[in-house]
A and B are shown apart, each in its own frame.
Chain A
Amino acid sequence: MALNSKIPAGEMNQKWEDYKGHVKLVNPANKRKIEIIVVGTGLAGASAAAALGELGYKVKAFCFQDSPRRAHSIAAQGGINAAKNYQNDGDSVFRLFYDTVKGGDYRAREANVHRLAEVSANIIDQCVAQGVPFAREYGGLLSNRSFGGTQVQRTFYAAGQTGQQLLLGAYSALERQVALGTVTQYSRHEMLEVVIIDGKARGIIAKNLVTGEIERHFGHAVLLCSGGYGNVFYLSTNAMGSNVTAAWKAHKKGAFFGNPCFTQIHPTCIPVSGDYQSKLTLMSESLRNDGRIWVPKAKDDNRRPTDIPEEERDYYLERRYPAFGNLVPRDVASRAAKERCDEGYGVGTTKLAVYLDFADAIKRYGRIEAGKQGNHNADDATVITLGKEVVKEKYGNLFDMYAKITGENPYETPMRIYPAVHYTMGGLWVDYELQTTIPGLYALGEANFSDHGANRLGASALMQGLADGYFVIPYTVGNYLADEIRTPAIPTTHPAFEEAEKAVKDRLSTLMNIKGNKTVESFHKRLGKIMWDKCGMARNAQGLQEAITEIQQLKKEFWSDVRIPGEIGGMNPELDKAGRVADFIELGELMCLDALNRNESCGGHFREESQTEDGEAKRDDANYSYVAAWEFKGESQWEVNKEALNFEIVKPTQRSYK
């Protein structure tokens, strides 16, 4: 099938303006008759549901959590980018666009990224109007900070809880629409199938997770805002419930999956402590603004970090990348940590960790602070005391979190960190209008593949989620729905609903009836280990082929030996988890296939076969400058469709941070 990305013609900076000027509209009286289903209530879903409700559509919003406010967008820490140029430091829509395309290692679609940069400023305005309490300066104006990989200060933030504040803003807009009657909220509901009638998405089958009932819901359009699939690795910074199920059901019904192997491994997370570990915790990238990363120069050095003298430490990022030092992009920092640990220089009990050290920052800030107080000959103890206060003001909540989890005091001893799966750039393939290859089915936010290429820059996920929901989908979905005004609501007694519901029920009873010996969790852990070892920070053809075989084997074992307690009716979290893990297993296979197909290194995807002499990632633009959009053809069978990427403005170059 030929992919049509529907990129509007014209100059890059006029495309979105032109599109909006010519897009089809739905008149208010007709909007009231049109129903839209939104799956997921994170930044993308909550903002889309609220914005569409405001327009007068009849919206149904679904989430598996007990409230829309729990969606995992809430855990984003660092901030949200916007090309406001409030700092007068040379930022612009063009620079944000350029940085994002380059940061994504030239594997994103230029037109989408440009639109994202254009609407970024509106997002900040909207959030402030909703009462989002961003950090401010003494003059009462908004504060900005810098973030990895960029040279301007364009990141807006609310302490280390920016995602929380933005999500609560979108949630409040959503709840307002619920009160006004335009949105109906379905919490503790999980989408288990998409219903397709005459080639168009017309509804979903959802499970009420409290009563166990299977429900049918009609919609003229269905929006999947169900987040990323990092939990395929079992251990990730995602919430425990984050899953790929909604997107995967759509994929198996015909929606192509774009660049599934593009995974972001975040360099600064708290390391694994044991095999009971259920999730990993991110320490905001902002810590790299002041912290210095190092390992001992000697292998197996078991001294305490504070006992290792300066000359026996290897500040490997500063050594390898003098220009960017500790502020290299996430993919580069993660691989460098892995390289040191693989070579035997890792620290801590597992030897899979490196130090993130604030001792220098504490001294530096302490001296500045002492100077401000007129004390130019302060002794070391005074300097350190003052410095700790400054560091506490900047990073206090992160240091507290580290102390709670590890029981160590990061003001006194360096933190131990290690990379962890954090975000997935891949997702359902969408065109410029965010429509998947199934008409009427859209994917927004992390659930789609579109804007971050092979590597997402910090503080850009929140931006994309809200851009899609508040400012893109209200226009683009109208273009589709304008032709649907003559379609009356289809009764859910339609055979397509019957059939989809039956498929869902059959699968649930199949799962319950396996009555095997192994827990769902044990399968998920095994899948995660295969993925992390063979489709993680470094990948090679042999490992990926092995992984595919192992995953196929695991799948067989799952469907013959999984044990799910409880009953099919009523509340059964283990059954819900089993369905998600079954989907993750299938996705894992596709990710390995995609990674195997892409025999180049780009962004977060590092193929060992494709590296420079000094071990840096080597892109292959001649052969791989495309989006791999995978079409499901049957069990373990996929066909790759290629969307060629054309770079009109930002000409691809080898990224260098040296």
Chain B
Amino acid sequence: MEHYKMNLTLKVWKQKDSSDKGGFETYQVKDISSEMSFLEMFDVLNEQLITEGKDAIAFDHDCREGICGMCSMYINGKPHGPWEQNTTCQLHMRAFKDGDTIVVEPWRSKAFPVLKDLMVDRTAFDRIIQAGGYISVNTGNAVDANAIPIDKKDADDAFAAAACIGCGACVAACKNSSAMLFVSAKVSQLALLPQGLPERKTRVLSMVAQMDKEGFGNCTNTYACEAECPKGISVTNIARMNREYLNAGLSSE
């Protein structure tokens, strides 16, 4: 693989705090290696800014290996940037070429207020999980792990849904700011497993109610969420959640 260096223009959203209006600022970075990750390019920029006596750009990041779900940049109009099934931290600079201009914004959604620059508040997701994204089993209550066999297909499907990293790219990608992909991934995981069945109905009703309360929009089946999801969570989960919701609604007291 050929490596190369590039000079870039960055237009980055700067916002002091949630009450500030915010706006774009333009920065130049030089000699960026194609082997760098996108966030390492931001590290270089921040080092440059600090040395110049300016404030660094705040952005969320932690594991830098695509699994914690903390990084959250909206790059050139796409959550997590141009690569498919990829997080911002795993995007590498070989996706760009010398002279490019890159526009970087935070996630945009009423339910994800901007805290500073590119950082947003995603605690709405925690509250949705608190509404029912669990199985009510206290520590010590469990039966032997092999006491209940689970169809491998169901287990695999549950795993595929559980692979969600809770980054919020689905919300950022959606023109309605819908959180249906996130919520349906958890509803599906637990609905597919026998352990999740006792709370199946209350869970979906309660999680959807909380989702609405947080201010996320409706789903109009454009599937932008699936297209932009770094973990390839399928929209079939949304269909499953709709079925679960309908069944629960029809049969609840």
Please list the residues of chain A having a beta carbon within 8 angstroms of any beta carbon in chain B.
47, 50-51, 54, 65-72, 74-75, 84, 86, 122, 124-131, 133-142, 158-159, 161, 163-165, 168, 171-173, 175-176, 178-179, 185, 187, 210, 237, 239-241, 273-274, 276-279, 281-282, 401, 404-408, 470-471, 474, 519, 521-522, 563, 565-566, 570-571, 573-574
Contact = CB atoms under 8 A, between A and B. Distances in A.
Nearest to B164: A168
B218 interface: no
Interface of B: 1, 16-17, 33, 35-37, 39-40, 43-44, 47, 49-51, 53-56, 58, 60-70, 83, 86, 90, 92, 94, 115-116, 119, 121-123, 125-126, 129-131, 133-146, 148-152, 155-156, 158-159, 162-163, 165-166, 189-190, 193, 195-196
Given A67-B123, A407-B94, A133 B159 contact: yes
Contact of B1 (A240, A408, A574): A408
Contacts of A274: 33, 35-36
A237 B64 CA distance: 9
A404 B26 CA distance: 28
A165 B190 contact: no
Contacts of B44: 276
Given A66-B121, A69-B166, A142-B145, A404 B196 contact: no
B189 A173 contact: no
Given A126-B142, A159-B159, A72 B152 contact: no
Contact of B56 (A163, A401, A574): A574
28 contacts: A50-B139, A65-B68, A66-B60, A67-B125, A67-B166, A69-B126, A72-B63, A122-B140, A128-B148, A136-B150, A136-B156, A138-B152, A172-B129, A173-B134, A176-B136, A239-B64, A239-B68, A274-B35, A276-B36, A278-B43, A281-B65, A401-B66, A407-B92, A408-B1, A474-B139, A565-B49, A565-B56, A571-B17
Contacts of B166: 67, 69
Contacts, number: 220
B125 to A, nearest CB: 7
Nearest to B159: A133
Given A67-B126, A137-B152, A274-B36, 12 more contacts: A67-B166, A129-B141, A133-B193, A141-B146, A161-B67, A179-B130, A187-B126, A239-B63, A274-B35, A281-B65, A404-B92, A570-B116
Contacts of A573: 56, 58
A573 to B, nearest CB: 6
Contacts of A571: 17, 58, 115-116, 119
Nearest to A125: B142
Nearest to B192: A133
B62 A70 contact: yes
**B43, B63, B131, B144 pick with most chain A CB within 10 angstroms:** B63
A125 B90 contact: no
